[in-house]
Amino acid sequence: MLNQKLKNYNIILASGSPRRQQFFHDLGFDFEIRLREIDEIYPDKLNGQEITNYLAQLKSAAFEGTLQPNDLLITSDTIVWHENKALGKPKDYEHAFQMLQSLSNKTHQVITSVCFKTQTTINLISDTTAVTFHPLTAAEIDYYLKHYKPYDKAGSYGIQEWIGFVGVQKIEGSYTNVMGMPLDKVYHYLMNL
């Protein structure tokens, strides 16, 4: 369905995330992957959605001057926002353990911004999902980290993995947003091009 709608566009996904790439395959349209290395550094004064908006646009800026007239570049960024700070990807086991302990028995927000860039336009959409964890024991956190090694994930967890099955009490909002992209919003944006 989207393939016909997007036939005049060359869709470029600028993400190394296997989950985002699979989402785009599952939506059923043709796209290519292009990656650029950037330092994901943002000003300290930014909070919540300001951070993801800034980083999604920063990722798109790396392609400035390289886009062709029919290119549509899609970049995105996801953070876990908890107790007024952003939890990014963990540095190591200890860091991941501390993050999951801090999320235990509490509610946090998962915030994603998606940037759509052409030669002449730039548009942003974003989404926030509230995720509440059951109390997590040290043994449960240790088991998850040793078996799933979620070191490439913001907040040190993937909701689609074991910890999501046993640890997440409830979510309010988009499930796919917690996995890294609010697919419903992306789909509707693309359908309305």
Catalogue all structural domains in the chain, each as residue range(s) with its CATH number. 2-191 (3.90.950.10)
Q: Give the mean model confidence (pLDDT) for residues 163-178.
A: 97
Element (H, E) at 95: helix 93-103
Please identify which of the residues 44, 77, 127, 152 carries the catalytic annotation: 77
Tokens standing for 21? 């790439």
Q: How confident is the model at residue 156 (pLDDT cuts 50, 70, 90)?
A: very high
Q: Do the beta carbons of residue 127 and residue 185 sit within 8 Å?
A: yes
How many Cα atoms occupy the beta-carbon half-sphere of 149 within 13 Å? Answer: 0
| pLDDT, tens digit, 9 for 90 and up, residues 62-89 | 999 999 999 999 999 999 999 999 998 8
Using a 10 angstrom Cβ sphere, with 0-12 exposed, 13-18 middle and 19 or more buried, the burial of residue 151 is middle
The answer to whether residue 2 scores a pLDDT higher than 90 is no
The answer to whether residue 5 scores a pLDDT higher than 90 is no
Residue 9 has what pLDDT? 96
Q: Give the mean model confidence (pLDDT) for residues 132-140.
A: 98
| pLDDT, tens digit, 9 for 90 and up, residues 44-69 | 999 999 999 999 999 999 999 999 99
Is 30 a residue of the active site? no
Tokens standing for 45? 């004064």
Residue 188 has what pLDDT? 96
